[in-house]
Amino acid sequence: STVGERTTRVVGATYAIGGATIGYQWSKDSNVTAGNYYENNAYGASFAVNDNLTISYGNHESEKGTESGTQTTKLKGQSVQLSYTVGGASIKFAESDVDNQNYVSGTNREGRTIALTLAF
């Protein structure tokens, strides 16, 4: 990648009411010298069902392209998470997938995470 003049712009906001929180962020990082950019849109929502159980969802879409518009590739990732806590123990679950991993068309991946954490 060419090093040179870069421009980065970011705008984001969150809003919480009761047990629900939503958020959105837009960003664009341009390398003026090389003539390429990354443009990102991300949003998420979480809901605390009660003191022990929280459910959340996140989505991130990113476009890698050239300022001339001759080449663009889109990446998309999303995840659903669940967390349950009792005392010092938490069990967490996430189901995630990504389309066009590393901005390479057709490289789609899925994954699951299950974690148990203990606090002493």
Q: Is the pLDDT of residue 74 over 80?
A: yes
Q: What is the pLDDT of residues 12-64, one digit of tens each?
A: 999 999 999 999 999 999 887 777 899 999 999 999 999 999 999 999 999 99
C-alpha Rg value of the chain to the nearest Å: 18
Closest CA to 42 of 20, 12, 9: 12
Q: Which two tokens stand for residue 83?
A: 């967390």
- pTM to 2 decimals? 0.81
Dihedral over alpha carbons 1, 29, 101, 41 (to 10 degrees): -170
Q: Is the pLDDT of residue 3 over 80?
A: no
Full 3-state SS string of 30-68: EECCCCEEEEEEEEEEEEECCCCEEEEEEEEEEEEEECC
- Report which DSSP code applies to 3: -
Residue 103: predicted pLDDT: 87
Give the separation between CA 38 and CA 80, rounded to whole angstroms.
Answer: 24
